[in-house]
Structure 1
């Protein structure tokens, strides 16, 4: 089969390549195309990718190109991992919201809205070109904000599934704490992308015994430390929120921290410089240890599993993905994109039934879903008023004075990426 990675020049890509090489029996890739407009980065990443395949005995062909139409021609699946505006735009997303006392983060709040406005039009153009090249191709979206981008793709009728590494990361973490194989851990994972809770941890499958109470009793301190949330909060919730919930549950504390330390974007930019130097070493033929600090842990395993299941291979039948709600959560619209366990196969992803959701979580989900609807409207149709409405609706903004100021800042910092500005 042929797979195409849009954003193939990303420093993430060797993680993906390593997964393709190790898991070739699950996903037998014969041709892998890395496409990126940054030719210098693409040459470095492509060279390392070929060396990783050779080291691990994978005989698939790796092609690098800046020609998107040629890259997606005949592709069975296209993985999207692009960043419009690069790390420079991320640096802005993480800093200007702090001027209003709001969280500066690249996937949620005002910074997340800026990223969505830059990204959705570009992704939809790519998806149309994929559809023209092969209407049966699957699009796997790892591009943030995954929920909004996947909703844009699905509403436009594309064969798309959104993917995030939060669930697989927690699955691996819990498996290690419990001393079991990751495949034996099934999460009752519910919410929206970057707004999720683990309400049960089951051993053996979706119907297995819930060991979350034991996990919290025996390992709650370790879990809380990873999330940077207080242990008593987890005990009171009786659930494990994703680490992104810290932006909501400890907003002012996080803002104070962000104002006194270098941005994550600056840290990542320095890591990328180091990684690209390493990638240029012709003796390097495996992903370097530094890549683990870059983020995206277990992305390769999740991507391989999802692509294999969609393409009729050996992928797991149940996976946590982003897809249409379709009545799964009755308090959300059918066309909301939710992140839950789903049955995945050649026809796509069908959410599994979800137990009644605590109003504490359902209320925040409904609020953020309304924001995402307004954000997508702003991304598709533009306009300052639509940006303002989306910001006013976001629970991390919520005050009209902040929404006005943030609208001005967002437009000023993103004018080159907004056709209507």
Structure 2
């Protein structure tokens, strides 16, 4: 088997250790020659790079580790690029969340005005990143985790419509499958085949098939969730805000039991209740800054000091866990590399997948992933209610992209007005004006 050269763009991210462990676990079926960590934050990159060298020395000593802020060194002759960049970092994310709260509107990383703010920042850097990768590795697979994935996917599809080796993915469907498996108690999430439709962070599970029996598990899952509640698979390790997020599925199911909803639908379908749980003194971004961010880099420093990961129980424990973010991206790369055509929920251009929806929408559906890219499920027509919700959300996404490309203040205002988390045009204008000030130097100048 050919040994592969892999690059993680956004290599200093706190999610990188999970990807590294995912790569180590798959080393026999997805063999690596070289792993490059690329990032523009050289201080954090140095910590993560040193940590990565030590981790690989302990578990995969034949893999060459490079960490760099040089684009040519990062992207030249690379087979796969895993993208997880965050333009503006966590401090800008915190402001994305806080500004809407001033006006009684949900502040969230990927949904509503927070997602709009972050999306407008992400577009430029993601387009530049893809161009840089293609300059040095024209055939590399680009597997993109960068948020807000819905907006980024639409932008990349517009900018690179003929590039068949860009795949936009999100780990939330896998995280939900893990949670469903824990509730059921007698099944591995990998033995479940999901059937799903919608947009990223805006979709529904219609069926979840038990691969051993052929049974649809959704009816039983609905019953268990309504009776026992819903929580993340690794609830003991999750921040408090995630426990509230998952619990909202119960409220949505009580109101409409048609399908199993994504957790993110709470921001659009029950916004008043969701808003009541948000705390400007303790945003989700602040939880990450004080929690995962500090924890991961403290661990990096400790590993560097010790010169090994084998003395740290916390690192050893990670090998016995299932990390949705890290394992999903590695397994998708493996499925493509080995042409396994395994099923994953990913984003693809609609083009008739959902008959009665815009053909250029970037829908999120189950696809078989192999060497020639995604082979999507054909959904057919969807009902009036779900069609209406998706069309409104996609109109917001498309207007956001048009606002970016046309540098249009009006289209930015229209995008925020049509978003279900706002709907009031005067409030949308106040939020937009504050976000323009916040994002000076990141956004194009809106006219």
Give TM-score scaled by structure 1 length. Answer: 0.92
Shift of the 316–81 alpha-carbon distance from structure 1 to 2, 3 Å rule, reads same
Aligned to 1:211: 217
SS in 1 for 2:295: helix
CA 233–389 in structure 1, closer or farther in 2 if over 3 Å, else same: closer
- The counterpart of 2:399, out of the listed 367, 374, 377, is 374
Work out the CA distance in 2 between the residues paired with 1:225 and 1:268.
19
CA distance in 1, matches of 2:252, 2:419: 23
Instruction: Give the match's secondary structure for 1:30.
Output: strand
Q: Secondary structure at the match of 2:365?
A: strand
* 1:349 match: secondary structure: strand
**1:186 maps to 2:169:** no
Does the C-alpha gap of structure 1 residues 287 and 308 become closer, same or farther in structure 2, counting only changes over 3 Å? farther
Deviates more, 1:320-329 or 1:221-230: 221-230
Is 1:309 matched with 2:335? yes
2:263 paired residue among 231, 243, 258: 243
Deviation for aligned residue 1:352: 1.0
Equivalent runs, 1:291-370 vs 2, <5 Å: 297-310=323-336, 312-313=337-338, 317-354=342-379, 356-370=381-395
**Conserved 8 A contact 2:154-2:361:** yes
Partners of 1:245 and 1:221 in 2: CA distance = 21
Q: C-alpha offsets along residues 259-305 of structure 1, whole Å, 9 cap, x if unaligned?
A: 4641111111112123212211133627947x99xxx9411111011
Q: How many residues are aligned here?
A: 416
Between the aligned partners of 2:17 and 2:224, the Cα distance in structure 1 is 36
How far 1:309 moved relative to its partner? Answer: 2.4
Aligned pair partner of 1:154 in 138, 154, 157: 157
8 A Cα contact 2:207 2:218, kept in partner: yes
1:274/1:224 CA distance change after superposition, 3 Å? closer
Residues 143, 95 of structure 1: CA spacing in aligned structure 2 closer, same or farther, 3 A cutoff?
Answer: same
- How far apart, in 2, do the equivalents of 1:263 and 1:163 lie? 25
Report the Cα offset of residue 220 of structure 1. 3.5
Distance 1:402 1:36, change over 3 A: same
1:62 aligns with 2:102: no
Please state whether the residue corresponding to 1:2 is helix, strand or coil: strand
- Which of 127, 134, 143 does residue 130 from structure 2 map onto? 127
Provide, for residues 330-364 of structure 1, a one-character-per-residue CA deviation record: whole Å limited to 9, x for no partner: 23222211111012122211211226434332221
CA distance in 2, matches of 1:225, 1:304: 25
> Runs of 5+ in structure 2 lacking a partner?
233-245
Query: Given the alignment of the two structures, is residue 113 of structure 1 paired with residue 134 of structure 2, yes or no?
Result: no
Any conservation in 2 of the 1:320–1:341 contact (CA below 8 Å)? yes
When structure 1 is superposed on structure 2, of 145-154 and 5-14 the one drifting more is 145-154
TM-score where L is the length of structure 2: 0.87
Aligned counterparts of 1:148 and 1:58: Cα–Cα separation in 2? 39
Q: Which moved more, 1:103-112 or 1:344-353?
A: 344-353
Which of the numbers 53, 56, 59 marks the counterpart of 1:53? 56
CA distance in 2, matches of 1:39, 1:113: 28
Question: Measured at CA, do residues 415 and 233 of structure 1 come closer, stay the same or move farther in structure 2, by a change above 3 Å?
Answer: closer
Structure 1 residues 260, 372: CA separation in 2 closer, same or farther (over 3 Å shift)? closer
Q: Distance in 1 between matches of 2:159 and 2:248?
A: 38
Matched, 1:98 2:124: no
